[in-house]
Structure 1
């Protein structure tokens, strides 16, 4: 088996606000839109990951929390500055983490935590847990 791509689908009654959040703050662009289901492509020079947003359909429960969308970025400090200047308030502060990243978290309108980070050297206590370097 060879996985060619992966995406996250968020079932949200706040589809319009969630879509606007990713389009305005993460350079997402729609590549499919039938009204109740939208595929947004995150435009980057490296790859084009997708986030899918969906209005709840009959008998379907909306997302109720507990998920992180992890975005590896070039410079978390720069993005943090851009997003806070745009009026967003991080729910997780920008800081170094001993497991080997510097990052911060935002809450999107559907309740997903968007964790933006870049790698840094892990502390000695976490080096033993690294199985493979990316």
Structure 2
């Protein structure tokens, strides 16, 4: 299978709060909104949906769920979010596996890891595979 896009759909009672958060802090564009279900897009093939629980559906348990966002300049994104009044959970730091990143939480408790690629440490270089 070779999907042209993939996106998480988070079942939550916090659809309104999620819409505001992702638009304000992450620059998401609202491309569908019927009230109880929204689709937010970051770019072609990059999106996230939020849906109020329907009969028989359980809300997402966000503990352990992380959504990764690769950006060109992680330090600029960190400063931008702080400037908008968001308090990140962690500060940017370099990781030996080849990224520099920080974490914020969305209104549902989903961890958003925002990072930029950097040169991996020698012990991680062999872990990378090419297509």
After TM superposition, the score normalised by the length of structure 1 is 0.91
Q: What is the number of equivalent residue pairs in this alignment? A: 130
- The residue matched to 1:18 in structure 2 has which SS? helix
Task: Spell out the pairing of 1:27-46 with structure 2 (5 A cutoff).
Answer: 27-43=27-43
Q: Once the 2 structures are TM-superposed, how far is the Cα of residue 34 of structure 1 from its aligned partner?
A: 1.0
Distance 1:104 1:23 in 2: 19
Q: Once the 2 structures are TM-superposed, how far is the Cα of residue 48 of structure 1 from its aligned partner?
A: 4.7
Q: Tell me which residue corresponds to 1:54.
A: 51
Structure 2 residue ranges without an equivalent (≥5): none
- The residue matched to 1:7 in structure 2 has which SS? coil
Cα distance per residue 1:32-57 (max 9 Å; x no partner): 111111001114xxx35111011111
Distance 1:60 1:124 in 2: 46
Structure 1 residue ranges without an equivalent (≥5): none
Structure 1 outlier segments of 4+, above 4 Å: none
Q: Tell me which residue corresponds to 1:77.
A: 75
Cα distance per residue 1:38-79 (max 9 Å; x no partner): 001114xxx351110111111111111221111111100000
CA RMSD of aligned residues (A): 1.3
- The residue matched to 1:105 in structure 2 has which SS? strand
Cα distance per residue 1:74-126 (max 9 Å; x no partner): 10000000001111111122100110001111000011111111100001111
- The residue matched to 2:57 in structure 1 has which SS? coil
Contact 2:66–2:111, Cα closer than 8 Å, also in 1: yes
Distance 1:128 1:92 in 2: 28
